[in-house]
Amino acid sequence: MLSRTERTLSSIILLVVAIITLYPIVVLVTTAFDKVGGNNSGISFFKSLSFSSFSYAWTQGGFSQYTLHTAIMTVSVVVLSVIIAVLAAYAVALLKPIGSRLLFYAAILGFMLPVEVLVTPWFYELRSLGWLNTYAALIVPQLAQSIAFGIFWMNSAFLSVPKELTEASVLDGATRIDVFRLVLLPNVMPAVKTMSALVFLWTWNAFLLPLVLVSNPSLFVVTEGLANFQGAHFNNYGALAAGAVLAALPVVVVYLASQRSFISGMFAGSTVG
Q: What is the pTM of this model?
A: 0.85
Would you call 254 exposed, middle or buried from its count of C-beta atoms within 10 A (0-12, 13-18, 19+)?
A: middle
- What residues does each domain of the chain span? 66-223
Beta strands in 165-210 (DSSP E): none
Residue type, 163: K
In this predicted structure, the answer to whether residue 77 has a pLDDT above a threshold of 90 is yes
Residue (of 259, 226, 244, 250) closest to 25 by Cα position? 244
Let me know if domain 66-223 sits in CATH 1.10.3720.10: yes
Instruction: Report how far residue 87's alpha carbon sits from residue 79's, in angstroms, rounded to the nearest whole number.
Output: 13
When pLDDT is cut at 50, 70 and 90, the band that residue 132 belongs to is very high
When pLDDT is cut at 50, 70 and 90, the band that residue 83 belongs to is very high
Instruction: Report how far residue 50's alpha carbon sits from residue 171's, in angstroms, rounded to the nearest whole number.
Output: 65
Percentage of the chain surpassing pLDDT 90? 43
Q: What is the CA radius of gyration of the chain?
A: 23
Would you state the torsion angle of the CA atoms of residues 203, 206, 210, 213, taken in this order, to the nearest 10 degrees? -90
In tens, the pLDDT along 216-230 reads 999 999 999 998 888
Supply the pLDDT for residue 271: 46
Interhelix angle for 135-159 vs 115-129, to 10°?
Answer: 130
- Answer left, alpha or beta for residue 130, where phi above 0 means left and psi between -120 and 50 means alpha: left
When pLDDT is cut at 50, 70 and 90, the band that residue 25 belongs to is confident
In tens, the pLDDT along 168-213 reads 888 888 788 888 888 899 999 989 988 999 999 999 999 999 999 9
When pLDDT is cut at 50, 70 and 90, the band that residue 34 belongs to is confident
Asked if residues 153 and 197 have their Cβ atoms less than 8 Å apart, the reply is: no
